[in-house]
Amino acid sequence: MCLWAIVGNLIGYSLSLLLDDLKKSLKDKDTNDISDSLKLYAATVGVSSVRSSFLDFNLYDSAINPMLDWRPFAISYTIRTAKNLWKTITFD
């Protein structure tokens, strides 16, 4: 787990440097439009989500799993409810 945190912090730091470069390049431009602001906002959200995902050791659950989960929410909810009900019945 410690290695996971170290690698995550290194990736987060490198993404932060890229975000700082993007901020500087947009600041140096003479004209900025809404697309530049949206690019900066998307990059900021992406970097912060990657950094916080690595810090809480849940990168797979919080960032990757929602993109790869093929089951609809209703099916996932039903399966989770059935498992919890079975555990309650069997006193597990």
The full DSSP string for 36-91 is HHHHHHHHHHHHHHHHHHHHTT-HIIIIIHHHH--S-HHHHHHHHHHHHHHHHHTT
**pLDDT per residue over 14-53, tens digit each?**
888 888 888 888 888 777 778 888 888 888 888 887 777 6
**pLDDT per residue over 59-74, tens digit each?**
555 566 656 666 666 7
| SS3 readout for 28-45 | HCCCCCHHHHHHHHHHHH
Two tokens at 14?
Answer: 């490198």
Q: Is residue 12 part of a domain?
A: yes
**Same domain membership, residue 88 and residue 46:** no
**Same domain membership, residue 77 and residue 53:** no
pTM value? 0.49
**Same domain membership, residue 48 and residue 12:** yes
**Same domain membership, residue 7 and residue 52:** yes
Which domain covers residue 89, as residue numbers? 68-92
| Eight-class DSSP state of 1 | -
**Same domain membership, residue 79 and residue 50:** no
